[in-house]
Amino acid sequence: MEKKVTLTIDGQEVSVTPGQTVLEAARSLGIYIPTLCHYANTTNVGACRVCVVEVENARSLVASCCMPVSPGMVVRTNTPAVRAAQKMIIELLWSSGDHNCLTCEQNGACELQNLIYWLKIDKPRFPIEPPGHAMDESNTMISRDLNKCVLCGRCIRACNEIQVNEVLDFSMRGSYAKVGPAFDTDYIDSTCVFCGECLQVCPTGAITFKQAKFAGRPWELEKVHTTCAYCGVGCQMDLYVKDNRIIKVMGNREYGQPNEGSLCVKGRFGMDFVSHPDRLTKPLVRRDKKEDLKEVSWDEAFAFIADKLKAIKSEYGADSIAGLASARCTNEENYLFQKFLRAGIGTNNVDHCARL
């Protein structure tokens, strides 16, 4: 049995695995410690220092996301010194960017905004001085506004450690520091594959969905958990829907397997076909070669298909019929399709469009 480390957090004793951090131990107790730069399954960097706590006999406040637990450690997360430090950090982040919530797509879902409210900060004590970075609107999928960036580095670690695309990194120093591709190029001119992982992890409105702009506030969107149908992996994702239209797509981290919240460019951005005006929404039937396609009910369409299949099978045999399945369907639907052809029709002539 693995040896445990016992420590005390806010008067509560907890035993955790050696190597775990104070933040992880606190969360196991249900104790809230605010974070901005921390992101599970990536390197703990302690960049933002929002997660600072008091540790007995420590010379200063420590970043709980990086501090490993030790036997007998006594931690306090809610003291005047801790709150004062957190307020100072958040005020500095607020004042160093253009955090205009009126038009920001993350209004209502912004982690910086939530922390400002949680810490009860009316306004920063420092003058607000945005860096004046140019917007990156070079592609059709992702908007980048580095004036809202808090330099947490989450997008960098998600790009480098989760997707391993290694497109993003820090450049410059001090007040000139920024995040972006090599040589400060726009996304469209970089090696970015537009998986959107950086967008998924951004805690502010620095990286947002371009197609979602002005399409609906976060509290107006209905979240629908579903499975991506583009390939056979079965990635879990959340559709954010308004007025029966998909506004944006996010990977579902809570479900876990198989994608752990990550998505490819198709799964995240290839959903326009769902509401495309050219998409068929009702069955069309041409009963005679000289006739135009006419709209019919589903029952009429099924009956027409069944009659035609029966007639062809009766005259030419089952192997005169073939079926082509779709990558836009789920594995279960494709399984039923091949089962219908093999068991219902009696033919093995079935293929899938992803193999062609």
Rounded CA separation 207/100 (Å): 14
Q: Is the peptide bond before 34 cis (omega within 30 degrees of 0)?
A: no
pLDDT exceeds cutoff 80 at 223: yes
Q: Give the C-alpha separation, 311 to 184, whole Å.
A: 65
**Residues 328-346: pLDDT tens digits?**
777 788 899 999 999 999 9
Topology, domain 131-275? Alpha-Beta Plaits (3.30.70)
What one-letter code names the amino acid at 33?
I
pLDDT in tens, 254-293: 888 899 999 999 999 998 888 888 888 899 999 888 889 9
Report the C-alpha gap between 287 and 193 in whole angstroms.
Answer: 46
On the question of pLDDT at 129 being above 80, the answer is yes
CA torsion 264→267→272→278, rounded to 10°?
110
Q: 32-78: per-residue pLDDT in tens?
A: 999 999 999 899 999 999 999 999 999 999 999 999 999 999 999 99
- Pick one of 3.40.50.1370, 3.10.20.740, 3.50.50.60, 3.40.140.10 as the CATH number of 5-78: 3.10.20.740
Q: How far is residue 345's CA from residue 278's CA, in Å, rounded to a whole number?
A: 31
What residue spans define the domains of the chain?
5-78, 131-275, 284-355
Please, is 234 exposed, middle or buried when counting C-beta atoms within 10 Å of its C-beta (0-12, 13-18, 19+)? middle
Residue 230 pLDDT: 82
- Cα 213 to Cα 98, 104, 205, 230, 267: the distances in Å are 17, 9, 11, 25, 19
The helix, strand and coil proportions of the chain, stated in percent and rounded to the nearest 5, come to 30, 20, 50
pLDDT score of 70: 95
Tell whether the model's pLDDT for residue 23 goes beyond 80: yes
pLDDT at residue 356 tops 70: no
pLDDT given at position 272: 87
Residue 51 CA: distances (Å) to CA of 62, 84, 113, 179, 188: 8, 12, 16, 22, 35
Q: Is the pLDDT score of 174 beyond 90?
A: no
Distance between CA atoms of residues 223 and 237, nearest Å: 10
Length, in residues, of the chain: 356
- Express each pLDDT in 285-316 by its tens digit: 998 888 899 999 999 999 999 999 999 999 99
Give the per-residue pLDDT at 255. Answer: 85
Give the pLDDT band (50/70/90) at residue 1.
low
Closest listed residue to residue 97, CA positions, set 150, 171, 36: 150
Burial of 102 (0-12, 13-18, 19+ CB in 10 A): exposed
Mean of per-residue pLDDT scores for the chain: 93
Burial of residue 30 (number of CB atoms within 10 Å: 0-12, 13-18, 19+): exposed
Cβ atoms within 10 Å, residue 131: 14
355: confidence class by pLDDT, cuts 50, 70, 90: low
Helix (H, G, I), strand (E, B) or coil at 64: coil
User: If you average pLDDT over each of 40-44, 85-89, 130-134, which comes out highest?
Assistant: 85-89
Of 44, 78, 45, the closest CA to residue 61 belongs to 78
The mean pLDDT of 102-106, rounded to a whole number, is 93
- Identical fold between 5-78 and 131-275: no
Cα–Cα distance, 67 to 106 (Å, whole number): 30
Residue 331: predicted pLDDT: 78
**Torsional class of 312: left (φ above 0), alpha (ψ -120 to 50), beta (otherwise):** alpha
Residue 176 has pLDDT above 50, yes or no: yes
Q: How far apart are CA 226 and CA 141, in angstroms?
A: 21
Q: What percent of the chain has pLDDT over 90?
A: 84
Q: Is the pLDDT of residue 112 over 80?
A: yes
Least confident of 67-81, 237-251, 342-356: 342-356
pTM: 0.85
The residue-averaged pLDDT of 246-254 equals: 94
Given a contact cutoff of 8 angstroms between Cβ atoms, the answer to whether 97 and 177 are in contact is no
Nearest-10 crossing angle of helices 80-95, 111-118: 140
**Other beta carbons within 10 Å of 217:** 13
| Rounded distance between C-alpha atoms, residue 207 and residue 136, angstroms | 10
- Determine the Cα–Cα distance for residues 178 and 150; give it in Å rounded to an integer: 9
